[in-house]
Amino acid sequence: MISLLTATRLELIKTYSRYRTYIGFVTISILVPLIMWLVRKYGFDEMQGNTLNSLENSFVFVGSLVNGLLISYYLMTVLWVHFPFFIVLVGGDIVASESSAGTFRLWLSRPVSRFTVLTSKFLATFIYTSSIVFFLGLCSVGCGILIIGGGDLLVFDKGILILSQEEALLRFLLAYSLAVCVQMVVASLSFLFSTMSNNSVGPIIGTYAIIVVSLILSVLRIDALDGIRPYLFTSYFDVFFAPFADPIPWEEIKFNLSRLGIFIAVFYSLSLISFLRKDICT
């Protein structure tokens, strides 16, 4: 039988042959340099002043904390609400579009099982998710350093923490790796909806609705919600900011990752059950 690797490669060819796959890449390529250029042109200096004003009487600041890394750091907040759109655009479409186009009939009359087909699609979704998340990271950190300039990174963690550029870059790498896991939860949820639907609009809207509602429930500090918060995947969405603590809270990262992993596994399993029972001929 055809190997999972071959099926995944073919999935990737299909995925990266579609225009919609590049919407996220193009948007990031335009928006991120534009933001960096605006910061360079109009500044962001109040950030440093507000943070360190109590030291101004005694110290002189050499260099600036407003640099490309700082803007990249704050750009990471888009990973919660805005960025998932690029993920569901592909994840919500990858199965549903083939159901509606009828192309599964051709695929599944070949020596390939439904498990292989779905798993290869899931792996392709994972690779797409990783590629676009790392593209955002590369674009934001790279453009930040090129357009605004590099330097130390000022972050908040039990006060003010200033990380050297080398240290910050390593932590960005770790942070974006964790962001892949976060976005994979989004991807696998949209993937689940995609297996249950014959058009991609439903999965995109459905996934987004769930993300927004879950975020609201995670943010609201209402005691009555304490019981359900651990079951909301959005409660673990901020794990990619953990690497910017000192020391890095590995236990916290491991805990959040395990929870995110459970959500991914559950969504994938449900997708598999749904797809194995799916009528692909209608």
- Please list every residue from 52 through 71 that binds other proteins, using CB under 8 A: 52, 54-55, 57-65, 67
- Which listed residue (30, 160, 205, 265) binds other proteins by CB under 8 A? 160
What's the min distance (Å) between Cβ of 275 and other proteins? 13
What's the min distance (Å) between Cβ of 40 and other proteins? 17
- Of 97 and 207, which has the nearer Cβ to other proteins? 97
Question: Residue 270 and residue 235: Cα distance in Å, rounded?
Answer: 21
Contact 134, 175 (CB under 8 A): no
- Which listed residue (22, 49, 110, 258) binds other proteins by CB under 8 A? 110
- Of 41 and 282, which has the nearer Cβ to other proteins? 282
- Of 51 and 199, which has the nearer Cβ to other proteins? 51
Question: Residue 211 and residue 238: Cα distance in Å, rounded?
Answer: 14
What's the min distance (Å) between Cβ of 176 and other proteins? 15
Question: Residue 111 and residue 44: Cα distance in Å, rounded?
Answer: 58
Interface segment toward other proteins; rule CB under 8 A; list 11-19, 187-195, 196-204, 205-213: 11-19
Residue 14 lies near other proteins (rule: CB under 8 A): yes
- Which listed residue (4, 27, 85, 113) binds other proteins by CB under 8 A? 113
- Which listed residue (26, 38, 101, 146) binds other proteins by CB under 8 A? 101
What's the min distance (Å) between Cβ of 189 and other proteins? 17
Which of the residues 246 through 275 are near other proteins (CB under 8 A)? 246
What's the min distance (Å) between Cβ of 27 and other proteins? 20
Reading the block at residue 20, the tokens are 């919609």
Residues 6+ apart with CB under 8 A from 148: 36, 39, 40, 66, 67, 68, 71
Distances (CA, A) of 185 to 103, 120, 153, 170: 26, 17, 28, 24
In the block, tokens 């892949």 appear at: 180
Reading the block at residue 158, the tokens are 């039990």
Amino acid at 151: G
What's the min distance (Å) between Cβ of 274 and other proteins? 15
Residue 34 lies near other proteins (rule: CB under 8 A): no
Reading the block at residue 26, the tokens are 């193009």
- Of 268, 257, 90, 249, the closest CA to residue 180 belongs to 257
Which of the residues 181 through 240 are near other proteins (CB under 8 A)? 215, 218-219, 221, 234-235, 237-238
Contact 267, 184 (CB under 8 A): no
Reading the block at residue 119, the tokens are 């798993």
Residue 158 lies near other proteins (rule: CB under 8 A): yes
